[in-house]
Amino acid sequence: MYLFIVVGLYYQLAQSGRRWLILFVSYFFYGFWSVPFSGLLAFSTLVDWSASCWIERSKTKAWKRAGLLASLIANLGVLGLFKYADFFSDSAYGLFHMRPWPHMNWILPLGISFYTFQTMSYTIDVFRGHIKAHRSIVDVAMYVSFFPQLVAGPIVRASDLLPQLQTKQEFEWSNIRQGIARIIWGLVKKVYFADAMAHIVTVVYGQSSDYSGWSLLLATYAFAIQIYCDFSGYSDIAIGSAKLLGIHLPENFDAPYLTLSIQEFWRRWHMTLSSWLRDYIYIPLGGNRRGVFRTYVNLMITMLLGGLWHGAGWHWVVWGGLQGVVMSIERLMGLGNDTTNSWIVRFFRWFVTFHIVCISWVLFRATDLSNSMFIFKRIFTMADGQFSIGPAPIAVLLILLFVEQMKLRNRWLALFDSHPVLARWVTYLAILLFSLTFMQSSNPEFIYFQF
């Protein structure tokens, strides 16, 4: 209801009024979770607006670098303080039996990893000369806080979003239909796929010592479904919500579970993060331009940092490292691209790739590294234990793969857009069904909210 009120007001206002409306509703949206932490969002915006203006006004490269450095220190300092301070302190204690600072145990601000990367990309792009610094802090604040994708992406570049926010978007029924269709698609994935698997994952992973290796494997399949439908479902909702306002956000997923290599998987999973890591870490490190050895080093550094971006813990570092190792092996063997027409080879490569992804999800879902190793041991030895999980994860996985293979989302969006009467009645039905479902929902939050 909040979204549709915003959309209704948005199209009634002139462009100047729309800018203030977007800014107000975005901060209201974030402040509904935490008013004090809205100050961090404002601080990040102020830092990068000031730094970008400084960079553009500076006459020498040294002063431009000083502005960029100030932005990076401020943004990464805040992110490190809230997300990584306790991890580094605990790691130091484990190695040296001393803490460099007391354990803080602070609450992680909602979406801090997402909006920090987004604001840094703005300053870096100004420094590189890819975009001009915006004189109006309101424009930059709109870009940083744009509510549809604020807390869990997609991570949007300023060059893509800011021009759209500054342009008066005309009301078009096709945008409304496409936006609603995309929101419904995302909610179906979240409510009827992700949340359906969440209970299995929570119970089995929460009592991993009681369940058999086969049960843990099925729960890992369930988590693969949960995390994909949960996160891609949020991206669908964000993209659809922005579409209602006439704003186009970039795609974040493209059937990643159908890929034939981990390299291809990362081109199609969390695509905006993957491109961010490529453009702002991998390529600046030298990419593949400085010899074979340096290419593998750059790849490992990028994926280790990508793992650490997801969470503060050694299991996250190992998770990122695993991605880097497998991608390096694929690169060495020339397996990074889809180059075969043999369905047997393609199936084998898909099967191996999918299960490498699932193995890595154990590290993603487990509470820590030791818990991950314990679960791995029980799965690979097919340990005895409770076996109370039915075939639901396998059945849902097959449905999900079929939906992706047949590109049913695109067909759904086209059908919704081309049949206005059908779209209207489906919308009414969806509102009724989701209202009844959410009244009894016990898992309303999205997984990536914690990042």
Q: Supply the pTM of this predicted model.
A: 0.92
For 62, list phi and psi in degrees, rounded to 5. -65, -45
Exposed, middle or buried: residue 203 (CB in 10 Å: 0-12, 13-18, 19+)? middle
pLDDT digits (tens, 9 = 90+) for 142-200: 999 999 998 887 999 999 999 999 888 889 999 999 999 999 999 999 988 998 899 89
Catalytic residue of the set 103, 130, 270, 310:
310
**112 φ, ψ to 5°?**
-65, -35
Instruction: Give the model's pLDDT for residue 34.
Output: 78
Share of the chain above pLDDT 90, in %: 62
Q: Is 386 helix (H, G, I), strand (E, B) or coil?
A: strand
pLDDT digits (tens, 9 = 90+) for 68-89: 999 999 999 999 888 888 888 8
310 is an active site residue? yes
Mean pLDDT score of the chain: 89
What's the alpha-carbon Rg for the chain, to the nearest Å? 23
In this predicted model, what pLDDT tens digit does every residue of 93-132 receive, in sequence order?
Answer: 777 778 887 877 788 888 898 999 999 999 999 999 999 9
SS3 assignment, position 412: helix
153 vs 401: CA distance, rounded Å: 24
Give the residue carrying structure tokens 């490498």: 356
